[in-house]
């Protein structure tokens, strides 16, 4: 019973995802879907992307949270167009929700639309939301076994960001364990090592992103 | 559509939860449901509980993961009866899954059954699984805004464990923000501060747990 219904939802989501991808290609907007655990460093990572790219490109943000608007306020403080999506308990965003939010943006005036997904390594991996690139964060304090424990998330990501990388000295974290596990399931994924709090490693990431700009 | 189906699942789960609670009361088994983000420190926390209580009580563990058996192997290495539940993509455990697993344990010979739930701050909060106590971990590296962002998890927990507490000096983490937000939504919750890697603070927690032993 449960599986059947989930399939129906996923099929509906796939249609909506296609429609969004078509629209965003027409409007030449690059959409990034940023995923990771609660407290994995998604918001700080996004603020660093904005700081590095805002002089060259126009950036908008969709902040998805179960409740509240803590992260959206951080983006608004930076002067970035932002919409908060409250999922009211749901563990992921769906393409339909993004479709309903897009009219709040002037897409002709956006080059990069960043979606900060719900903090969750499980559910968001199942739902395409019109994005061009899926970016999965894995923070050092979470441990080096997470690729094995949450295989769908890391097998579907275009890029994997090892975040809070400055904490390497304080946690037993074996980069090679992560890299080898990613290679086994997702050999095309690019891996970045970033300390967002000081901005270390962000240059390599923003250089990579610029390959995908559409305008 | 989605909401209706979720309700059906939750109603079915509630029936199964009641049945499990009745059985575990008859067998005088205390069940703990340990929840938290991926890499929040659940497994190390459980190994510390075992170390502290195994001479007085008989302990069993159910390890729930999307895939693999990394954590179950750690428990087996300690000589503890353990069953690995692979949810194969599902973001939480359900009472029905626990019911199907219980026959693998001799409940007459178990005082405490610990369930390590899927690493996820969202979905596991919705499903009672026959437990006596819900214990939610929040690790210091995740940040002090998580009670506001994941309200259901922290409003339903009987105890909240601030884990990796030794990392307080390296992250901006305001205990009072967490404590005040917990008080607003869940005034009965007990808050513990624990560094599982060194065992600091675990004594207070295991003393509290012993109030609930049934045998």
* 8 Å CB contact of B148 and A118: no
The pLDDT of A135-163, averaged and rounded, is 98
| Domain A2-210 belongs in CATH node 3.30.499.10 | no
CA-to-CA separations, B24 to A169, B10, B102, B140, in angstroms, rounded:
44, 20, 10, 33
pLDDT at B2: 46
pLDDT digits (tens, 9 = 90+) for B160-175: 999 999 999 999 999 9
Minimum-distance CB partner of B150 among A8, A38, A149: A38
pLDDT at B75: 95
Q: Per-residue pLDDT for A37 more than 70?
A: yes
Q: Per-residue pLDDT for A194 more than 80?
A: yes
The pLDDT of B110-137, averaged and rounded, is 97
With pLDDT > 70 as the criterion, what percentage of chain A qualifies? 97
Domain extents for chain B?
Answer: 2-212
* Mean pLDDT, chain B, whole residue set: 95
pLDDT band at residue A1, thresholds of 50, 70 and 90?
Answer: very low
**In chain A, residues 78-107 whose CB comes closer than 8 Å to chain B:** 89, 91
pLDDT digits (tens, 9 = 90+) for A43-72: 999 999 999 999 999 999 999 999 999 999
| Domain B2-212 -> CATH class | alpha beta
Q: Per-residue pLDDT for B8 more than 90?
A: no
pLDDT at A140: 98
Q: Per-residue pLDDT for B142 more than 80?
A: yes
pLDDT at A120: 97
pLDDT at A202: 98
What is the length of chain A?
215
pLDDT digits (tens, 9 = 90+) for A88-137: 899 999 999 999 999 999 999 999 999 999 999 999 999 999 999 999 99
Enumerate the residues of chain A whose CB falls inside 8 A of the CB of residue B123: 91, 120, 122-123
pLDDT at A9: 82
Better-predicted residue by pLDDT, A169 or A162? A162
pLDDT band at residue A4, thresholds of 50, 70 and 90?
Answer: low
* Mean pLDDT, chain A, whole residue set: 95
Instruction: Provide ipTM, 2 decimals.
Output: 0.89
pLDDT digits (tens, 9 = 90+) for B77-93: 999 999 999 998 999 99
pLDDT at A215: 85
Find, among A8, A9, A10, A13, the residue nearest to A130 by Cα: A13
The pLDDT of B19-48, averaged and rounded, is 98
Which of A36, A39, A170 to mutate: most B Cβ within 10 Å?
A39
Enumerate the residues of chain B whose CB falls inside 8 A of the CB of residue A146: 38-39
């Amino acid at each position: 019973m449960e599986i059947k219904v989930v399939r129906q939802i996923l099929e509906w989501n796939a249609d909506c995802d296609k429609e969004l991808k078509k629209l965003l290609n027409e409007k030449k907007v690059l959409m990034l879907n940023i995923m990771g655990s609660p407290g994995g460093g998604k918001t700080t990572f996004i603020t660093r992307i904005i700081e590095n790219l805002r002089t060259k490109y126009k950036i908008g943000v969709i902040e998805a949270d179960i409740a509240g608007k803590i992260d959206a306020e951080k983006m608004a403080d930076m002067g970035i167009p932002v919409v908060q999506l409250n999922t009211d308990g749901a563990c992921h965003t769906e393409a339909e929700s993004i479709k309903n939010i897009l009219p709040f943006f002037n897409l002709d005036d956006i080059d990069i639309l960043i979606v900060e997904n719900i903090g969750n390594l499980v559910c968001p991996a199942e739902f395409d939301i019109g994005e061009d690139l899926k970016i999965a964060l894995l923070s050092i304090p979470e441990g080096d076994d997470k690729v094995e424990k949450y295989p769908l998330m890391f097998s579907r990501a275009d890029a994997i960001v090892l975040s809070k990388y400055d904490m390497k000295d304080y946690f037993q974290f074996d980069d090679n364990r992560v890299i080898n596990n990613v290679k086994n399931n997702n050999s095309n994924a690019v891996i970045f090592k970033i300390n967002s709090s000081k901005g270390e490693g962000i240059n390599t990431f923003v250089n990579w992103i610029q390959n995908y700009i559409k305008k």
